[in-house]
Structure 1
Amino acid sequence: MITADAIMLSYDEPLANDLHARVQRVLDRPVKRLHGVRGMRRAYQLTAELTDCEWYFLADGDFAINEDFNPERVAPLAPEASMRVWQALNPLNGLVYGYGGLKLMRRSALLELGHAVDVLAALPGRVEFSKDVAGITRCNQSPYHAWKAAFRECAMLSHGSEYGMSEQGTKDRLTAWTACGQGGFASYALAGAHEGIAFAAERSGLDSINDPDWLLDRFTTTHGQNVAATR
């Protein structure tokens, strides 16, 4: 068992309060909350400033941790590792991979974060990818959130994985995202997947996909203000 703090990073997720209580209960420790910070890179780095522990669990505001996840069985990170990512089930496409999964962070590594579109891909050192599934990413809590999840992930996959994923692995995940047919608001996720791929093909850089105001404006322009308001 390691000595580790726990933090939830949320922005506007409708179920964040309930999921915060859930992760706090399962991890059996207080879970600090960082909410509503604009700019993903800044938000991630601020989580490192909330803890005095070298290791801490980091959960997104849409992550529903499995009730049987046992923090007492979690081993320390390897000396050269900066982060461990547990897998999460995606309700929109049935994929099980690191997207939206629980993380174990090394505080000192996050304070040296570099620059990447997928922010945590810029950590120094290597990433440990656990084969265990720690929960479900509830990324489809509204039409907007389902669209945003698919748009961002498919834009990043199309642009090229910053984690060194194989070309075939990237292709397989894009295929699954562009066939979203299950889970709540699947039609919005399907639209977001195709729009994200098209957006990546038109741009040399993807920095705008980390701007929440830009994302909301793009969604409402295409899909309607009233739908976004259901957040």
Structure 2
Amino acid sequence: MNALYELSNLVQRYGGREVLRLDDLAVPEGAIIGLVGPNGGGKSTLLRLLAFLETPAQGTILYRGEPTGGREYALRGEVTCFPQEPYLLKRSVRANVAFGLEARGASDVGERVETALALVGLDPARFAGRMWHQLSGGEVKRVALAARLALRPRALLLDEPTANLDRDSAELVRRAVTTARERHGTTLVISGHDHEWLKAICDDMLWIRDGQLAAPAREVGHVEWPQPAA
């Protein structure tokens, strides 16, 4: 399987403080990779780097075999990030999901909006016309995910996608993102604390602690997590 991302000698710093150091990491195209570990360990930083929202302090990121330096803005059209606390525009559900598609000049906006809403378990006939303030917290999160799924990105990077969701909503998220992989070959990198949910969905999982890989990727179902330092 070809690598979508190849990271080497990667370091990221904030205000002179090193927050991430990865000597070597490859993300296969079409894979589902889980990131687990304590808060502040570097998971969100890695996702932002993979989304080309940040530039590393040093090291190299190859995307589809090519260096990304200077191309980050253009590459954001192929990848999208789902943050821990997504927000909606002060518009209808339909307008929120359509926004990115219209910005990219898509011709089948209506169809893709309806498909994406259905993927996250929201009936387009009932929800498309609702305004942002008429949604529950879980519905806001699912609409925000639908907006990203509608783009059919090559890579979807999700930061705590099931946080504060009930079990049924978390299952809808699982089905939606795995469907994106099945239909469009989307590569998924997902951070989270729900290890059982991640083990059920991921091909491989990485433990990140203190800005470094604390354990190699292992076969799902045979993951043995290192114990946190006392």
Name the TM tier (shorter chain): under 0.3
Query: Which one has the bigger strand percentage?
Result: 2
Higher relative contact order at CA 8 Å, sep ≥6: structure 1 or structure 2? Answer: 2
TM-score (norm 2): 0.24
Query: Which one has the bigger helix percentage?
Result: 1
Structure showing greater Rg: 2
